A and B are shown apart, each in its own frame.
Chain A
Amino acid sequence: MISFKELVRRRYVRRGAIVFAVATAALGSGVAYAAWTSSGTGNATATAATAQAPVVTGGAVTTGFLYPGAAGNAAVTVKNPNAYPVKVTTVALTPGSALECTLGFITSTPMTPIAAGATVTVEMTGAVTMGNADNSCQGKTFSIPVTVTIASA
């Protein structure tokens, strides 16, 4: 005959086992059980890569031309000098920049992927605005100072 106290103790033990099993599963099925191994000592060396800044050059737009009261397109060409793929996370007007012809620039988050060592042109639809510009601004090509940020993909 099992006593009431013993029954309660067994219930707690069973619950503990269940909780532990669930927690182990939550850690991820991809984790393998470690084997018992022997080991020695020594020095291994590894050097982390240094993240290189993107190389930014001007891009030429072929659509979405600007005119007063409207937003037009902007383009920027970005080279990824790194040995790993990246994505262009933001393109923002460089602080302190003065723009001609009443232009404005809206920060873009294109998230464009760039393979290692590759160069892409990122076109940002409607990123440039023009206020009440005068006729002398017609047909002008603008070079807008921007800061391009990339992140490892």
Chain B
Amino acid sequence: MRTVIAGAAVLCLLAAQPASAAWTTSSQGPAGAKAATVTAPTGIVCTKSSGAVTWPAVAGVPTYDVWWSDKENGGGNFYGFFRVSSPSYTVTGGTPLRVKVRSVAGNWTSVQSPEQICS
């Protein structure tokens, strides 16, 4: 009887063995990666009545800084910056007449966009 049980156990162990091992090889070569280019946004649209400021996203750029002014004369008097993580911003607490935006990626920043006059 013990012989039968031992035989069954051996057969079970044999059946549990893996069928085969995978063939593995390796070699070296280059992997590609690319750094973002932080350029200033273009095509900025600003609306006085709603305070909405929008612009097309810059590829690879995660955040933007926005400045706005409620003065019509050029230069100075900007509030900001206000950092946003999408290519839009809504001015609150005033009416935007001029805006400018820059792109930000980590510690990389673009130059500020030219002032955009709101319509």
Which residues of A approach B to under 8 Å, CB–CB? 12-13, 15-16, 19-20, 22-24, 26-28, 51-61, 65-70, 72-76, 89-91, 94, 101, 103, 105, 124, 127-128, 130, 132-133, 135, 137-153
Please report the C-alpha to C-alpha distance between residue A26 and residue B37 in the assembled complex, in whole angstroms. 62
Q: Is the CB of B37 within 8 A of A139?
A: yes
Q: Is the CB of A70 within 8 A of B33?
A: no
A19 contact set on B, CB distance < 8 A: 4-5, 8
Interface positions, chain B 55-83, Cβ under 8 Å from A, are 59-62
Which residues of B approach A to under 8 Å, CB–CB? 1, 4-5, 7-9, 11-12, 14-15, 22-38, 59-62, 105-108
Q: Is the CB of B107 within 8 A of A132?
A: yes
Please report the C-alpha to C-alpha distance between residue A145 and residue B36 in the assembled complex, in whole angstroms. 20
A-B contact count (CB 8 A): 170
Please report the C-alpha to C-alpha distance between residue A133 and residue B38 in the assembled complex, in whole angstroms. 13
Q: Is the CB of A138 within 8 A of B23?
A: no
B26 contact set on A, CB distance < 8 A: 53-54, 90, 147-150
B48 nearest CB across to chain A (Å): 33
Q: Is the CB of B7 within 8 A of A137?
A: no
5 closest cross-chain pairs (CB), A and B: A56-B29, A68-B106, A65-B60, A23-B8, A67-B105
